[in-house]
Amino acid sequence: MSTTISAKQVKDLREKTGAGMMDCKKALEESSGDIEAAVTLLRKKGVAAAEMRAGRAANEGVCDSYIHQGGRVGVLVEVNCETDFVARSEPFKNFVHDVAIQIAALNPLFVQRADVPEAWLATEREIAADQSKDIPEQARERAVEGRIAKRLKEICLLDQEFVREAGEKKPPTIDELRARLSTEVGENITVRRFVRFELGGQ
């Protein structure tokens, strides 16, 4: 027996995800009206769609700045897209500004895992191994890899949970927000680089 999906459910899901109405209706039907499950379905599809666009050149975009804590922290970030039309759109500008706020608040060290140097990983693995030395040998390697994975989520911007939705049950990561925007605008979106300044820092 199929679940009847109301227009309000579709509207609520559309507002929550930014996906098209037909996509929202289909996701709700597939999830039997469970809005959280539908959000997960759309995120998965959004990521898949974004991956298909990932090879396309993204040479447009904007640089944005954000000053935090009365001038104590400053951020510059570059985010790229494929066309100037999207670069000038409000959803794109809002995403770039949200990314700048994220960097100011959570101080990531790298954009993504592929940017993390092997030397840094080796040092972190040594630290994790030392912290796991009292764990039984058969579980030690898994514990070390778990610590590394947790650390990477803290220091890689795209893996961080979106700070402005931190109170949500399952906040999206920055990469999920990027994929959602990519699906919405139909273009490859990439966070290229950033720099964060903190008063008195190195």
Which CATH fold would you assign to the domain 7-53? Helicase, Ruva Protein; domain 3 (1.10.8)
Q: What is the pLDDT along the chain (202 residues), one digit of tens a residue?
A: 456 888 888 878 776 666 667 778 888 888 888 888 888 887 776 655 555 566 666 778 999 999 987 889 999 999 999 889 999 999 999 999 999 999 999 999 999 988 999 998 889 888 888 888 778 777 878 888 888 889 899 999 999 999 988 777 788 999 999 988 988 888 889 999 999 999 887 6
Could you say which of 3.10.20.740, 3.30.479.20, 1.10.3430.10, 3.40.630.10 is the CATH number of the domain covering 60-113+156-198? 3.30.479.20
Strands annotated E in the chain:
60-68, 73-81, 190-198
109 CB-side CA count, 13 A? 12
Domain locations along the chain:
7-53, 60-113+156-198, 118-149
